[in-house]
């Protein structure tokens, strides 16, 4: 069985970082598509249309790095990048500061 080399890990990490930002950018597209389709009764269809974007990092990492586990690692790291970056965006807004301060006072 082949092992992951440093170059493989770097390639998977780059794919994950790029798709993490694509996932974050697709949130606005998803919200706009849902808002457009909801009045005609097809709001739930936006999730099905956008599903392909949310599932691209894993197959691409698995296709480029043909080692078992690389697809999982690519998708997982892409989701982690999106999570961390969206938390940083939220933490820099005033309404999120109020939410964090409120919960710190309650503890």
Contacts of 38 (CB under 8 A, 6+ apart): none
**Assigned domain for 34 exists:** yes
Q: Report the number of distinct structural domains present in the chain.
A: 1
Pull the structure tokens for residue 39. Answer: 């009045």
The verdict on residue 17 lying in a domain is yes
Q: What is residue 55's predicted lDDT score, i.e. its pLDDT?
A: 87
Residue partners of 68: CB distance under 8 A and separation at least 6: 1
In a domain, 1, yes or no: no
Q: Give me the domain span that covers residue 52.
A: 6-106
C-alpha atoms less than 13 angstroms from C-alpha of 95 in its C-beta half-sphere: 2
Predicted model pTM? 0.76
**R_g of the chain computed on alpha carbons:** 18
Q: Is residue 65 part of a domain?
A: yes
User: pLDDT tens track of the chain, all 107 residues?
Assistant: 788 899 999 999 999 999 988 988 888 888 899 999 999 989 889 888 888 888 899 999 999 999 999 999 999 999 899 888 877 776 666 555 555 555 555 55
Tell me whether residue 37 is in a domain: yes
Q: Which residue has the tokens 């994950």?
A: 16
């Amino acid at each position: 069985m082949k092992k992951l080399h440093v170059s493989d890990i770097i390639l998977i990490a780059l794919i994950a970082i790029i798709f993490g930002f694509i996932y974050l950018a697709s949130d606005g597209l998803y919200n706009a598509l849902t808002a457009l389709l909801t009045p005609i009764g097809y709001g739930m269809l936006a999730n099905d249309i956008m599903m392909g974007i949310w599932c691209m990092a894993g197959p691409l990492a698995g296709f480029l790095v043909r080692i078992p586990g690389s697809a999982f690692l690519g998708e997982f790291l892409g989701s982690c990048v999106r999570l961390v970056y969206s938390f940083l965006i939220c933490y820099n807004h005033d309404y999120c500061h109020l939410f964090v301060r409120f919960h710190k006072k309650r503890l």
